[in-house]
Structure 1
Amino acid sequence: MTVDNLLAQIPSGARGLPPVHSWNPAFCGDIDMRIARDGTWYYLGTPIGRKPMVRLFSTIMRREGDDYFLVTPVEKVGIRVDDAPFVAVTLQVRGEGAGQSLVFMTNVEDTVEAGPEHPLRVELDPNTDEPSPYVHVRSELDALIHRNVFYQLVELAVTREVEGQPWLGVWSGGVFFPIAPDPEG
């Protein structure tokens, strides 16, 4: 399986995302494609420098459990993802307070508004307590929120009680998303 073969199988002309959730082709094995934690895509150990190609591959990605695949109507190949398949690289803030909306753009130009369908979450590294913030993009696929964008979220944080404890967090889409316990609470 080569990248050229995979590209040739992607239906063209349709608007929006392909219906990868409805495609159930045979598994054809893994290919040497990796998405690094910083969002860089690699094929055979070399970065893929063509943004339109990366964007195209990102539209045919599917996650099943802990495994990631590129799926076409006739083939499914496994790829490696170091952390999350996308990186949220910009943040646009609309409104304020409980009516605020946080709109993220990913490195592959997906735009997503945090809310009930696209929750934010923060995981802590058990060894270092370093936070890793994520926003849900689509169909089991998340974006790691870039450090600079996370700093913007921290600047927007307000204190709210969650299960009897004060938490710093942000509002978006009518939902309060806790970021961290409030150290002053």
Structure 2
Amino acid sequence: MPYEPPPEIAGLSLAELAEAVAARKLPPVEQWAPQTTGDSGMAIRADGSWTHDGSAITRPAMVRAFASLLMCDDTGQHWLVTPVQKLSIAVEDAAFIATDMTVKDGALAFRLNTDEIVIAGPDHPLIARGDAETPALYLAARRGCEARLNRSTYTQLAEHALSLGDSWEVTSQGATFSLVPA
């Protein structure tokens, strides 16, 4: 079956964005308790690229498939989880990259490099890290994993914040987020 990427997020209403989020069927890794653990030999680089034993994984479908099995535990360790195995995966910065954003009906929606859509809010907060000179913004994506906003998405969000005033804060789904690291 051919892969159909979701439409551009700027052209969707908030209801359509929410429907796209709900339509994404992910494996129920939270329900699995594999007895075998090991190392996957995989890594997610800071630029969002994936490797296995040092070689690039270049097929987007493979990246999307592996990403659907990804979770991060309370210690910050990332895992690929199947019903029979739990394999560690090295993550240099964040598991995902936020590559686009749009503002719809009081909500901020982000597209990830895996074509997933995440709507910022109480369950998916925006997190400012770094310092005032070199801030980095992250979005809680799912299963403990985060997405780092790339430069253009960061710029889109900063322009939105500036259009609201000088506070460097944004609101999405009733939650307010500072874009300045604490």
Tell me if both proteins adopt one fold, taking TM over 0.5 as the criterion: yes
TM-score where L is the length of structure 1: 0.78
Q: CA deviation at 1:31?
A: 2.2
Instruction: Choose which of 128, 144, 149 in structure 2 pairs with 1:122.
Output: 128
Instruction: Choose which of 146, 149, 153 in structure 2 pairs with 1:145.
Output: 149
Q: State the match for 2:32 in structure 1.
A: 23
Return the structure number with greater relative CO, CA threshold 8 A, min gap 6. 2
Alignment RMSD (CA, Å): 1.7
Q: State the match for 1:76 in structure 2.
A: 86
Q: Please, which moves more after superposition, 151-160 or 77-86?
A: 151-160
Whether contact under 8 Å (2:71, 2:142) holds in the other structure is: no
5 Å matches for 1:147-166?
147-157=151-161, 158-159=164-165
Higher helix share: 2
For 2:91 and 2:126, how far apart are their aligned partners in 1?
20
Which residue type is aligned with residue 123 of structure 1? R
5 Å matches for 1:1-185?
16-64=25-73, 65-95=75-105, 100-125=106-131, 129-157=133-161, 158-159=164-165, 167-180=167-180
Structure 2 gap segments, 5+ residues each:
1-23
Higher strand share: 1
Q: Secondary structure at the match of 2:180?
A: strand
Aligned residues: 155
Q: CA deviation at 1:136?
A: 0.9
For 1:27 and 1:109, how far apart are their aligned partners in 2?
30
Q: CA deviation at 1:54?
A: 0.4
* Deviations, residues 38-71 of structure 1 (Å, cap 9, x unaligned): 1100111111111011000001111112111111
TM-score where L is the length of structure 2: 0.80
Q: Which runs of 4+ in 1 moved over 3 A?
A: none
For 1:77 and 1:52, how far apart are their aligned partners in 2?
19
Which residue type is aligned with residue 78 of structure 1? S
Q: Decide which structure has the larger Cα Rg and report it.
A: 1
Q: CA deviation at 1:92?
A: 1.5
For 2:71 and 2:156, how far apart are their aligned partners in 1?
29
Q: Identity over the aligned pairs, expressed in percent?
A: 38
